[in-house]
A and B are shown apart, each in its own frame.
Chain A
Amino acid sequence: METRQILETIKMIEEEKLDIRTITMGISLLDCIDSDGVKARQKIYNKITRLAKDLVKVGEEITSEFGIPIINKRISVTPIALIAGASDDKDYVEFAKTLDAAAKTVGVNFIGGFSALVQKGYHKGDEILIDSIPRALAETERVCASVNIGSTQTGINMDAVRKMGEVIKASAELTKDNQSMGCAKLVVFANAVEDNPFMAGAFHGVGEADCVINVGVSGPGVVKRALEKVKGESFDMVAEVIKKTAFKITRMGQLVGHEASTRLGVKFGIVDLSLAPTPAIGDSVAHILEEMGLEVVGTHGTTAALAMLNDAVKKGGVMACGHVGGLSGAFIPVSEDAGMIDAVNKGALNLEKLEAMTCVCSVGLDMVAIPGDTSAATISAIIADEAAIGVINHKTTAVRIIPAVGMKVGDNVEFGGLLGHAPIMPVNPFNSDAFIARGGRIPAPIHSFKN
C-alpha cells in the first residue's frame, strides 16, 4: 500500500472536488420510428424506461462503493427531428413531453436529443422541430435541445443561423418568469460531435451503437491545487503537471465508465476528457488560468493559458483511457464558474475575449447572459461568428446564450444549482440585420492552404 497515493486520492475527492461529472446513457431511437406519432412516442417511452431503469441506481452504487461522486446521470437520444420526421405531426412538443416523462420515470436530471442537424439543409422534421423548441423547452423540465447549423465539410447554414436567433429569443420570452431558463437548455453547434455526454448539447448520433455509456470526468480543483505546487516555474513544468493530473483524473473516469457499463450490461462508449467547472468554490477553470499568473481571467495572456491547459489535458488524458471522445478539453461557461463570474463583474472579461478563448477551448460561448432587448439578428450574428471559428478551424464550437428578458447590463440572472448565476454582459450596439437577413449558406472552407 502506498500511503501517500491513497491519501492523495482521498484528498483529491474530498477537498479538491474531483468528481465524475456525468454518466450519460446514449440510446438510439431509430427503431421507434412510426408514421403514427402516438405509437412512436409510446415506443420511445418504453425503450428509454426499459434501458435506463437502473442507470441512477447503478450510479449511486458506484458512488458509494468507490467513494467518487457521480454528479449527474443523464440520457441522450437520437436527434428527435429524425425520429419524429416520419410521423405526420405538425409540431413536436408532444415528443419533448414524452422524453420529459421518461426522464422523470428513470430519475435522470436531463435528457438531451431534442435536436436537429441542419448544417447543409432542412428536411421536413428539422423545420418542425426547430419551430417546436421554444414551447418544448418551456413546457418540459428536463429536456435539452440542440441544433447543428454548420460543419467544416458543409459550411454554415445561414438560414438556420437566422432562425436560431429567433428561436433563442422566443425561448427566452416563453420562460421569462423563470429567468429565461429555456435558453440554458438550448445549444447551437457547429461541428457537433455524436458522443458528447455533456448537456445541454448531448445527443446520440446515428453512427453510434444502440445503447452506450459515455462518461464525462471533471476536476478543475485538482489541477488548480497541483499547479499551486509549481508556482513561478516554467511552462514546461506547468504543462507536465497538468498532463499528469489529467491522467489521474481520466483513469478514474475510465474505471467508473467500465464499471457502469458492466453493471448495466451496456457497451462502454467514450470518456470525455474534460475540466468542467461548477459554481462551487474550488471548482473553477478560471482559477486554473489565474494560477498560471494572470491577475484576472480575461486579461492578456488568457487565450494562451487556456490553449496550453486544453492541450495538456488532452495529452494527459488520452493515454489514460481506451476511447476518448465527446468535446474533451476545458469548458468555460460563464455562469457555472466562480472565477469567470468574478472576472465579468470586475470588467476583465467581455464577449470579445470569450470569443477569442473559444478558438482554443473545447466548446464556445457557454452560459453567457446578455440584455433581454438584444435583437434576434444580433444573436444570430454571434452564432455565425462562433460557427465560423469552428468551421474554419476544424473544431466544435457552440453558443448557449441567454437574452434574459427584462434585464440589462449590471443585472444578474440566477439559475440556481449547477447552472449558477450570470452577470448580464454587454453586446456590440451596432446591428447586423442586413448580414443575417441574407440567409443562404456560407460555403465550406477549402481544406488545403490552412492558416
Chain B
Amino acid sequence: MKTILTVIGKDKTGIIAGISQKLFALNINILDVSQTIMGDYFTMIMLLDLSQITTSFEETKAELVQTGEKLKVKVNIQREEIFDAMHRL
C-alpha cells in the first residue's frame, strides 16, 4: 500500500529525524520526500511504501500520529489514491 504522509507544524530541530526514525522502526520505506517552510510552518510530504509493515494500518497510523504529537506537529497519513483521484483524470 502506498500512502502519503504529511507533517505540518511550527519549525524546530529534529522533526525529520523523529519521523524518519519512527518510519524505520515500523519497517516503512520512504519513496519520496519533499520539504519546505511555508510561512512559519514546516511542511513535509513523504510518499511511503507500507507493504512491509508488521502491524495493521490502524496501529501504524496511531503510532505515527503519536510520534507527531510528541514532536508537536500534525501528522496525516492517507492512501495515495485519494490524491490521484481528485487531481488526475
* Residues in A lying within 8 Å of B, measured CB to CB: 1-3, 5-7, 9-10, 14, 64-68, 248, 251-252, 254-255, 259
Task: Give 17 new A-B contacts, CB below 8 A, not counting A3-B45, A67-B79, A252-B85.
Answer: A1-B34, A5-B86, A5-B87, A6-B4, A6-B45, A7-B45, A9-B82, A10-B76, A64-B57, A65-B78, A66-B79, A66-B82, A248-B87, A252-B82, A255-B82, A255-B85, A259-B81
> Which residues of B lie under 8 Å from residue A9 when comparing CB positions?
82-83, 86-87
**Residue A5 contacts which of B76, B77, B83 (CB distance < 8 angstroms)?**
B83
Q: How far is the CA of A2 from the CA of B57 in the complex (A)?
A: 24
| A3 B36 Cβ-Cβ under 8 A | yes
Contact with A along B35-57 (1 / 0, CB 8 A): 01000000101010000000001
Check B6 for interface membership: any CB of A closer than 8 A: yes
Question: Can you pick out 24 interface pairs between chain A and chain B where the beta carbons lie within 8 Å of each other?
Answer: A1-B4, A1-B32, A1-B34, A1-B45, A3-B34, A3-B36, A3-B45, A5-B86, A6-B83, A9-B82, A9-B86, A10-B78, A14-B76, A64-B58, A65-B1, A66-B78, A66-B81, A67-B76, A248-B86, A251-B86, A252-B82, A252-B85, A254-B85, A255-B85
| A2 B85 Cβ-Cβ under 8 A | no
Q: How far is the CA of A7 from the CA of B34 in the complex (A)?
A: 12
Given A6-B45, A7-B43, A64:B6 Cβ within 8 A = no
Check B10 for interface membership: any CB of A closer than 8 A: no
> Which residues of B lie under 8 Å from residue A251 when comparing CB positions?
85-86
Check B61 for interface membership: any CB of A closer than 8 A: yes
Task: Give residues of chain B (50-84) contacting chain A, Cβ–Cβ below 8 Å.
Answer: 57-58, 61, 76-79, 81-83
* Residues in B lying within 8 Å of A, measured CB to CB: 1, 4, 6, 32, 34, 36, 43, 45, 47, 57-58, 61, 76-79, 81-83, 85-87
**Residue A252 contacts which of B32, B36, B76, B86 (CB distance < 8 angstroms)?**
B86
Rounded to whole Å, the gap between the CB of B28 and the closest CB of chain A is 15
> Which residues of A lie under 8 Å from residue B36 when comparing CB positions?
3
Residue of A3, A6, A68, A255 ringed by the most chain B CB atoms within 10 A: A6
Rounded to whole Å, the gap between the CB of A390 and the closest CB of chain B is 33
> Which residues of A lie under 8 Å from residue B47 when comparing CB positions?
1
Q: How far is the CA of A9 from the CA of B88 in the complex (A)?
A: 12
Rounded to whole Å, the gap between the CB of B1 and the closest CB of chain A is 8
> Which residues of A lie under 8 Å from residue B34 when comparing CB positions?
1, 3
Q: How far is the CA of A409 from the CA of B1 in the complex (A)?
A: 56
> Which residues of B lie under 8 Å from residue A1 when comparing CB positions?
4, 32, 34, 45, 47
> Which residues of B lie under 8 Å from residue A68 when comparing CB positions?
78, 82
Q: How far is the CA of A1 from the CA of B5 in the complex (A)?
A: 12
